[in-house]
Amino acid sequence: MRKKSLIVVIISLSSLIVQAQKGGSGLYGFLNNFNSNAKSAALGMDFVSAYTNDLNFAMSNPSLLSDSVNNDFSLTYTDIFAGINQYALAYSHTFKSIGSFGFGLQYLDYGSFTSTEANGYITSKFYVSDYVFNISWGRQLDENVFIGASAKPIFSQYESYSAFALAFDIAATYISSNRSWGATLMIKNFGKQLKQLYSVTEDLPFNVSLGVSKKLKYAPLTLYATLSDINNWDLMYKDALNDEQNVDLDGNIVKKEDNAFLHELDNAFRHLIVGVNFKPSKHFDISLGYSWRRNREMAVADAFSLTGFSYGCNIYIKRFTISYARSEYHIYGSPNYITLSVKI
């Protein structure tokens, strides 16, 4: 007989590979922690608010779906770490009378695991995976206002256990008439788990975010900023295993006293993600992003790392775009993204 505690171990493992979250950190934490394409990952953001003709940005922000990405297709591979891989694909088509639609699939493969009986006897191997299907719609209401929504059926298969949830995103974007700046209000991952994995109902990582972008007039730069988790102000996370302490000359532990102002400042910056895109040529650009929250939650004390930074580049060759990104999660492992996009 297989140990029933096996599924608890699996859930714990899947939680460890995503960055710490105050809410929604269990089964569905990956919805807020792993991008589905290299372009968004390079900026370190779930979505951008800039006017775009790129399908990858439009699938992350359904209000940006338009005829500019009609019949576009993209394919992404992500080497996350510890043998975990992600595959994603997306396609868009525009119907003039009702708007633009995007169709996507995000597949996370956590690898194979060993199944044992209570006495430790190995019986077989099993696989663990998550699937997110994405059906998105977007429409331009007038010259400046764009709206969109996504429905995301989510299926999880952990050994012989399975779960099903249904999540929704809605977004509204304002783009200036000269297309130089934009702002998006995004409500992500509201919905419900409809089938439990193992006797516990998992919450979806509900997230209200505000994003802005600005394309500079006299430089090939576009600046991005996102305020994430507006609905959940307190994002402070205390790691009991990595408690920062001082030691006096006698070897006695002296805990640091919290400064209320610095505490609130730290918490405020955890909501902010900033990024920049530099495009010196129509054939090439590079992006850089930074998340204070990821740095504070994932960095190792007294060890140098780039945790919190993300970066990448894009190469444009006629109808094709090749994108690469790396998100620095931890000194011992970080996801690498490769995306191939084509205008069919």
Q: Which pLDDT tens digit goes with each residue over 292-323?
A: 999 888 877 777 788 999 999 999 999 999 99
| Domains contained in the chain, CATH given | 6-343 (2.40.160.40)
Provide the 10 A C-beta neighbour count for residue 8: 12
pLDDT of residue 142: 93
pLDDT tier at 69 (50, 70, 90 boundaries)? very high
pLDDT tier at 34 (50, 70, 90 boundaries)? confident
Residue bearing the bigger pLDDT, 197 or 194: 194
Contact 275, 288 (CB under 8 A): yes
3-state secondary structure of 58: helix
pLDDT of residue 241: 55
pLDDT of residue 245: 56
**Can you read off the two tokens belonging to residue 294?**
């990821």
Q: Is the pLDDT of residue 256 over 70?
A: no
Contact 18, 298 (CB under 8 A): no
Q: Is the pLDDT of residue 203 over 50?
A: yes
Q: Which pLDDT tens digit goes with each residue over 148-187?
A: 999 999 999 988 889 999 999 999 999 999 999 999 999 9
Alpha carbon separation from 290 to 7, 177, 221, 273 (Å, rounded): 35, 29, 16, 6
Contact 85, 79 (CB under 8 A): yes
Mean pLDDT on 125-152: 94
pLDDT of residue 239: 57
Q: Is the pLDDT of residue 220 over 90?
A: yes
pLDDT of residue 330: 82
Portion of the chain with pLDDT greater than 90, in percent: 61
**Can you read off the two tokens belonging to residue 1?**
């007989």
Q: Using CA atoms, how far apart are residues 74 and 89, in angstroms rounded to an integer? A: 6
Q: Which pLDDT tens digit goes with each residue over 73-122?
A: 999 999 988 889 999 999 999 998 899 999 999 999 998 888 888 887 88
Mean pLDDT on 113-142: 89
pLDDT tier at 134 (50, 70, 90 boundaries)? very high
Rounded to two decimals, what is the model's pTM?
0.84
pLDDT of residue 185: 96
User: Which residues, 6 or more positions from 318, have their beta carbon under 8 angstroms from its beta carbon?
Assistant: none
pLDDT of residue 240: 56
Segment of 117-121, 191-195, 236-240 carrying the highest mean pLDDT: 191-195
Mean pLDDT on 44-48: 91
Q: Is the pLDDT of residue 342 over 90?
A: yes
